[in-house]
Structure 1
Amino acid sequence: MTNIAKLSIGVAGALGPERIARIAAAVEAAGFHGIWVNDTPGADSLAALAAAAASTESLVLGTGVVPVDRRPAAQIAAEAAELPQHRLVLGIGSGGTRTGILAVMRGAIADLKRDTDARVMLGALGPKMRRLAATDADGPLLSWLTPQAAAAQAAEAHGADPDAHVALYVRAALDPAAVERLTTEAARYASYPNYAANFARLGFGADQTVVTPGDAAERVAAYRSAVDEVVLRAITPGEDDHDYLRFIEQAAALL
């Protein structure tokens, strides 16, 4: 790839709509492309994005990702109806689905494409899911990859559909005080069977896929050369607004 990827910020839905609205305003003011909000049990990414939409004007608003086993496509479409569709990216994932996963996700993509005007992206690890993301959705939402692996998977997606948009979540600690939390986050994901299997298949560990204070400029540049959009998932020393505003300030220096 010759283009430099867009740079966005990712946060956890657990921060809540009010705080995410304030963070989103800062993300937009700093010049980032978008804000992506993780959807977790008890934390509604769509409600958070509604608040973010009200505090911003042009910032792209993404969910990363909504599991369709917990919230079916029809429910996602209904709850997303009031969001600005031209700014919205509905990232979806299979969650705890265990049987017929490709068929389930193909159906969810089709339903969201029919019932919303938002872009639809698919959280994808394995090659079949990544291909489905490129051919049926607007592209894959990747995570936990080295720059080299990200470039290879982006080329694969663009080979399936040249217009596919390849986004990549990258866990990033830009403050030395946040490195311990980053290490814990990487170890947690490495313990999940599906991620452990994927790391084994790809031949690297979770700790090789992150950004730390000492290598931030070099690593972010490498990632931005690999995909179409890099989402810096903020790992901060604490959970105060100040921690996130400081992360945004530090990340803005990498734009």
Structure 2
Amino acid sequence: MCRRFVAVVPLGGRVVELGICMRDLPVAQVVRLGKFAEEHGFSSIYLPETGNRTPEGGLGGRSPWISLAAMFAETEHVGGAVGVAAAPFRSLPHLALSAATLQEQSGGRFSLGVGVSHREAADRLGVPFPTSPLRWMEVACDELMGQSRFGVTFGQGFPVLVGALGPKMVELGSARSDGLVLNWLTPQHARETVELAREIGTANGRTPYTVLYVRLSPYEALHTDAVNYDAMANYHHHFERQGLTSPEEVVAGTCLRSDDVGQAREQLTAWAEAGIDLVCAYTHGLEQAEYEAALAALTA
């Protein structure tokens, strides 16, 4: 897998890549974020697809594809990823073409994260959800990996990363793609996930690249996110597997407080030592000046 430009930060006994994950930012702020990342030693910007129905029935969620195109045009080194794309909501050939376009435009700085999304999200949008998410992702991986390597006629070589929660999806992504995008993990379960990914990857001639989102926000925003995610069945099971039985435990075990960035930096060491390749600080619930100050402190 192509690593391109890599900025690293020493944490504990390891040197680890740090990235930034942000959701639903205006395009101009994403461009500024890319420049900020290059200035402060972050290697990548990950933007999830968040488009969905609001409780009032409207549509919300800006396109990460358009935002990344604008960011790539104004930066030189920082990587960018859609992480993750809700793949069942579009055709796989069109998904590959969008990825190839950004790969070509960026000079090889793009990565494609793909996931099956969630049944609840599909229901709100009125689109079918795969009967077998694992089987659907198996087919999607083979299609997208093939298109990246020798199918598309331009922009070849974009890495394909699978958004994975449970161990079966971790195994599938480790065996059939370039790596994994992980979310809401304690350091202990991050270590176990990395060990499983490496075992399965080795058996299939691969070295899976592991990305983990770690939320960095005020407590109220973290707690609200934990409550909302716990309401989705697959995330509820994900938390239960880790012994996290309340939103308070989810926040304490998997998140960082933005009001004490010094402590947050120390806590990052645990995920670095778990073997994660790229730890993405996922900030929300903060104004631009606040999240820039918190992120800058992580790499100071």
Per the TM superposition, whether the score is higher than 0.5 is yes
- Tell whether 2:113 aligns with 1:91: yes
> What secondary structure sits across from 1:145 in the alignment?
coil
Q: Could you say which structure has the larger radius of gyration? A: 2
1:131 to 171, 196, 202: 171
Cα distance in 2 for partners of 1:71, 1:219 equals: 38
Q: Percent identity?
A: 30
1:4 to 15, 28, 31: 15
2:70 to 51, 59, 71: 51
1:100-115 alignment runs, 5 A limit: 100-115=132-147
Runs (4+) off by over 3 Å:
none
1:59-78 alignment runs, 5 A limit: 59-78=78-97
Cα distance in 2 for partners of 1:21, 1:111 equals: 31
Deviation at 1:64, TM superposition (A): 1.4
Deviation at 1:80, TM superposition (A): 2.3
Give RMSD over aligned pairs: 1.8
> What secondary structure sits across from 2:101 in the alignment?
coil
1:217 to 265, 273, 291: 265
Ranked by relative contact order (alpha carbons within 8 Å, sequence separation 6 or more), the top structure is 1
Unaligned stretches of 5+ residues in structure 1 = none
Contact persistence 1:236–1:243 (CA under 8 A): no
1:33-52 alignment runs, 5 A limit: 33-41=43-51, 42-52=61-71
Residue identity in the other structure for 2:62: A
* TM-score, with length taken from structure 2: 0.77
Q: Which residue of structure 2 aligns with residue 249 of structure 1?
A: 296
Contact persistence 1:26–1:248 (CA under 8 A): no
Unaligned stretches of 5+ residues in structure 2 = 1-12, 52-60, 120-128, 149-156
Contact persistence 1:170–1:231 (CA under 8 A): yes
Cα distance in 2 for partners of 1:26, 1:46 equals: 19
Residue identity in the other structure for 1:249: A
In terms of mean alpha carbon deviation, does 225-234 or 109-118 score higher? 109-118
Q: Which residue of structure 2 aligns with residue 169 of structure 1?
A: 213
1:191 to 204, 212, 231: 231
Cα distance in 2 for partners of 1:3, 1:133 equals: 25
Cα distance in 2 for partners of 1:225, 1:136 equals: 25
> What secondary structure sits across from 2:181 in the alignment?
strand
> What secondary structure sits across from 1:35 in the alignment?
strand
Q: Which residue of structure 2 aligns with residue 153 of structure 1?
A: 193
> What secondary structure sits across from 2:80 in the alignment?
strand
